[in-house]
Amino acid sequence: SLHSTGKTKFKGGGPGLGLALARGIVTAHGGHIWVQSNRYDEIDCPGSTFYVVLPLRLTQVINV
């Protein structure tokens, strides 16, 4: 299958672990990850947009 990095296209192959690892890390931190893709086209190869939201927690505030 073709993958796009924005300016170049290349044939990629692999175990496809990247998204699974990212999902595991994000969910372990209490976050959310999702993807949006209009379509897959080998000629135009528009790609997908991945979103990650991680919660921020304030720790102790020290006034000096």
In a domain, 44, yes or no: yes
Helix (H) or strand (E) holding 50, with range, is: strand 49-53
Digit-coded pLDDT (tens) for 2-45: 455 555 555 555 667 888 999 999 999 999 999 888 776 667 76
Q: Per-residue pLDDT for 1 more than 50?
A: no
In a domain, 63, yes or no: no
- More confident position, 10 or 63: 63
Cβ contact 18:35 at 8 Å: no
Rounded to an integer, what is the distance from CA 56 to the centroid of its chain?
Answer: 19
In a domain, 32, yes or no: yes
In a domain, 59, yes or no: no
**54 confidence band (pLDDT: 50, 70, 90):** very high
Q: Per-residue pLDDT for 49 more than 60?
A: yes
Determine the pLDDT at residue 26. Answer: 95
Residue 38 is part of which domain span? Answer: 2-53
In a domain, 61, yes or no: no
